Structure 1
Amino acid sequence: MARSAAGMALRQQISIMTTRAMTSPEIRARVADKCRELRDAEIRAGRASVVYQTRTDGHANRPEEAVTLQNGRVTYIFSYIAQAAQAALDWCRSHSPVRSGSYRDGWVVRVDGALWTRQIAAIPPASRVEVVNTMPYSRKIEVGGQRTSVPPGIVEAARGAVQRQVPAITAGVEYIRLTSGQDARGGALPYVLKAQGIASGLSYDKKSRQWGRKHKARKTRRADRSAGQQMTYPALVLTEGDTQWQR
């Protein structure tokens, strides 16, 4: 939990004002404006995440103007993990091939092992977040086994971009199992390989931005790519602590 000298000064100002006009709407507005002013100053200074939740007297997403003037509390819960999750999701979607749109639409967020369907800003601090594409060919696209309009390694590139953008979190890449649900086209998860995996032989040259081929496509001998095996999906994994301020 982080506190600032500005926050202490605000509490003194609120105390002085509320003793003069306990029921004045103008006082509520001034208190709310001051809370937001100090919140935004901390964000601009880089000491707080741009993603946060507001709790007024313990109620989530209640406006600051609703705070009880006597012993009320406005709390901003800043979540770097939520900021990173949104940045990762946006990055992956914007860098996806869009021939059909299914791959771009296949990106989902999982929190502590479960699909997250609420607002990204509501992801609890200190959660483990996975940004993963549910389409059955996501692994091929990641490792360069399928020619697309974009370079391979989308998840790895997203890892670097998000780590630079939100240095307070730790970003990594893992191949995870998806045990239930549907992909963007309605297919069941996880995808089960129907035949022995194929080593495509494709290669991508970053300098020339051209696709080439190291060898002809051939069946791979890898046991984890044999028929009947469940596919593992490349995922961007995000972890962090939390920063919380009370006003």
Structure 2
Amino acid sequence: MARSTAAFERVINVAVARLKPPEAQKRHAEIARKGLVEHLAQSKTPPQVVTFVDGRKGASEDSVKFGGVIRYEFHRLAEVAAFALRRAQELSPVDSGAYKDAWFVMAGGKQVPAEGVPNTGEIVVTNDKPYHRKLEMTVNANHWRTGKAMARLPAGIVERLRQEVFRQFPGVYASVDFITLQGGYVLKGRSQLRLAKQNRQSSAYRAGRKHLATRKDTAAGQQMTYPALILRSE
């Protein structure tokens, strides 16, 4: 995004260098609009465009000052969310297909259809299956496909989505967070106690406990948190 804007600015600077006002401003605006049209023609999914003229948001290109700057910001979160949703489904282990089909997108705290994702704000991509967190954190996807023994993944699906979005869309903020969902799964039973290391390096051992302290987010009655990809325009 920023690279395209810089390219426009360099072309405009060269093109108007020998002109004087007001012809220079007129030519500046013409070249900016033409560059924008050409750039958008290359996009499969047209982004939302925000225009800044000499730092004024939404101003007309025609109002640019002599030697001023016309800048376009391209907001394409809908395209990014569609990419992340497709990749999440492609990376999902397939047994019955329920997990693959359970991925969805949220905007403004509510689920939205893929074609209704806004280009601005904060977008969330997640999965509401009760085993989503366990699969993200501990289960090797090959186990689901081949029946081989489970092993810890170096990076779960949501983390892989973050990395891919970072590479494909450098102007988009992407992070992993653990969120609660309305009507989400409530943990049942008792957390399994884990033995503490019996040496002075263990704080539990020094406190006289045989087991590690239980985590609040794994205690019975707590709402489970779901790994989610958080997207925002930078």
TM-score of the superposed pair, with normalisation by structure 2:
0.58
Deviation at 1:233, TM superposition (A): 0.4
Q: Secondary structure of the equivalent of 2:96?
A: coil
Q: Which of 100, 105, 114 is matched with 2:110 structurally?
A: 114
Please say if residues 196 and 226 of structure 1, whose CA atoms lie closer than 8 Å, have aligned partners that are also in contact.
Answer: yes
Q: Pairwise CA RMSD of aligned residues?
A: 3.7
Q: Secondary structure of the equivalent of 2:177?
A: strand
Deviation at 1:131, TM superposition (A): 0.3
2-side partners of 1:226 and 1:116: how far apart?
Answer: 31
2-side partners of 1:131 and 1:104: how far apart?
Answer: 13
> For the structure 1 residues 9 and 101, does the alpha-carbon distance in structure 2 shift closer, same or farther, using more than 3 Å as the test?
same
Name the structure with the higher helix share: 2
Q: Determine if the alignment matches structure 1 residue 230 to structure 2 residue 216.
A: no
> For the structure 1 residues 88 and 224, does the alpha-carbon distance in structure 2 shift closer, same or farther, using more than 3 Å as the test?
same
> For the structure 1 residues 7 and 105, does the alpha-carbon distance in structure 2 shift closer, same or farther, using more than 3 Å as the test?
farther
Q: Secondary structure of the equivalent of 1:149?
A: helix
Q: Which of 126, 130, 143 is matched with 2:124 structurally?
A: 130
Q: Which runs of 5+ in 2 are unaligned?
A: 13-27, 50-72, 144-152, 195-211
Please say if residues 193 and 214 of structure 2, whose CA atoms lie closer than 8 Å, have aligned partners that are also in contact.
Answer: no
1-side partners of 2:193 and 2:80: how far apart?
Answer: 34
Please say if residues 175 and 234 of structure 1, whose CA atoms lie closer than 8 Å, have aligned partners that are also in contact.
Answer: yes
1:66-145 equivalence runs, <5 A: 78-117=74-113, 119-120=115-116, 122-125=117-120, 127-144=121-138
Spell out, residue by residue over 1:218-239, the C-alpha distance to the aligned partner (whole angstroms, 9 max, x if none). Answer: x982222111110000000000
2-side partners of 1:8 and 1:221: how far apart?
Answer: 65
> For the structure 1 residues 90 and 226, does the alpha-carbon distance in structure 2 shift closer, same or farther, using more than 3 Å as the test?
same
Q: How many pairs does the alignment contain?
A: 164
Deviation at 1:199, TM superposition (A): 8.4
Report the identity percentage: 34
1:8 corresponding residue in structure 2 = 30
Which of 1 and 2 has greater Rg? Answer: 2
Spell out, residue by residue over 1:164-196, the C-alpha distance to the aligned partner (whole angstroms, 9 max, x if none). Answer: 0011101000000111xxxxxxxxx21011212
Deviation at 1:38, TM superposition (A): 6.3
Q: Secondary structure of the equivalent of 1:52?
A: coil
1:177-196 equivalence runs, <5 A: 177-179=180-182, 189-196=183-190
Please say if residues 198 and 220 of structure 1, whose CA atoms lie closer than 8 Å, have aligned partners that are also in contact.
Answer: no
Deviation at 1:40, TM superposition (A): 5.0
AA aligned opposite 2:30: M
AA aligned opposite 2:102: G
AA aligned opposite 1:191: Y
2-side partners of 1:228 and 1:135: how far apart?
Answer: 17
Spell out, residue by residue over 1:111-143, the C-alpha distance to the aligned partner (whole angstroms, 9 max, x if none). Answer: 1211112515x5132x10000011010000111
2:173 corresponding residue in structure 1 = 170
